[in-house]
Amino acid sequence: MRAALIGAGHIARQHLACLGAMPHVEIEGVCDVSRARAECACERFGAQAPFTDAKAMIRSLKPDVVHVTTPPQFHFDLVMEALAAGAHVIVEKPAALDFKQVLEMAGAARAGGVALVENYNYAFSDACLRIRELIQSGEFGEVTHVDVLLCHDILGPDSPFRDPDLKHPFIDVPGGPIVDFVTHLASLVHAFLGEFRRCETSWTKRADSGLPYDEFRALVETNAGSAHVAFSSNTRPEAFWLRVYGTRMQAVANLFETRLTLSRVESGHKAATAFRNAWKEAGAVRRSAFGTLLMKLDGGPGTYKGVWELIAQTYRRLEAGREPPISGADVIAVNRLATSFRPGGRTG
């Protein structure tokens, strides 16, 4: 399949590295407002031609798949241009800052018979895929509740949200920089619980940071169960905790690491069950310590492994004429929930 990418920034490197490792994919073009950056990406990842005009690239190359990895305020026009040209689109989160634009993009993809895929990379991490396997097999039982907590420092001097020389696009969005991360939270709730019915949110501020908010919490109700999601700029160390509770098992994962621990209902005395689960958890934590170290030193995608998995699955399914792992309906549902998380967003 023939691929093209628009926006050669940080996350684009993961997209391009993944595409370059796929034997049946040709990277035909990379577009960026900086020609030097587009040329550098082409040289580094084996793309054929650099561009500075996205529309010209799409018209010239007629790629099968277009990756849109620009800042989100540019997504809508670029996605619509690619869809109108008959290309499948993989777009970085958030797909758009306006939910009406998400609906329009999804509608255009559906009308054109092409795919619109938003990058929910953490939902395709090894831990999440393993938990979903256990759910699909019936071993996990029914999911009753999900906890998601993202602890990430957006207050430090090295944060892109605090750069005095380059204003981040999310600074002026209601809710501020945290809104850049709520798609991750919403995608995990949707992956395990499906569409939401209503939610209640809390936005607060603990530090004198100049940002509108630095803490976020939400309670979510779905037809399948409930969820509590949170973003904390003040909690240390940084971590991305996912806890999934079921009628037969419980799972705990740190999505910034390789850690996944599972607790099962065991036969015998409750004390013995607790001991066996604790023993297994201790082993999982030890293995995770070494696994996470190797993951971050081996030169691979690291915590972006889910990006590679999602892209690979998407291309395999598109080549086979099948629906991608993220459908247009999924994109709408996740963005509806993410929009409801924002200050002043809808609750149902």
Displacement of CA 274 from its chain's centroid (Å)? 34
CA torsion 252→249→123→328, rounded to 10°?
Answer: -150
Question: What angle separates helix 305-319 from helix 10-20, to the nearest 10 degrees?
Answer: 50
Residues in CB range of 225: below 8 A, 6 or more apart: 142, 143, 144, 145, 146, 193
Average pLDDT across each block of 10 residues of the chain; the chain has 348 residues. List them in order. Answer: 97 97 97 98 97 98 98 96 98 96 98 98 97 98 98 88 79 89 98 96 90 95 97 96 97 94 76 68 68 66 92 98 97 97 74
pTM of the complete model: 0.92
- CATH 3.40.50.720 residue ranges in the chain? 2-118
| pLDDT at position 83 | 98
Closest Cα to residue 92, out of 132, 63, 120, 124? 120
- CATH 3.30.360.10 residue ranges in the chain? 122-341
| pLDDT at position 49 | 98
Nearest 5°: CA angle at 340, between 246 and 112? 95
| pLDDT at position 279 | 66
Class of the domain covering 122-341: alpha beta
| Fold designation for 2-118 | Rossmann fold (3.40.50)
Burial of 195 (0-12, 13-18, 19+ CB in 10 A): middle
| pLDDT at position 319 | 97
Closest Cα to residue 39, out of 31, 25, 225? 31
| pLDDT at position 296 | 64
| pLDDT at position 348 | 57
Work out the number of other CB atoms within 10 angstroms of the CB of residue 16.
Answer: 23
Cα–Cα distance for residue pair 202/213, rounded to 1 Å: 10
Cα–Cα distance for residue pair 123/194, rounded to 1 Å: 13
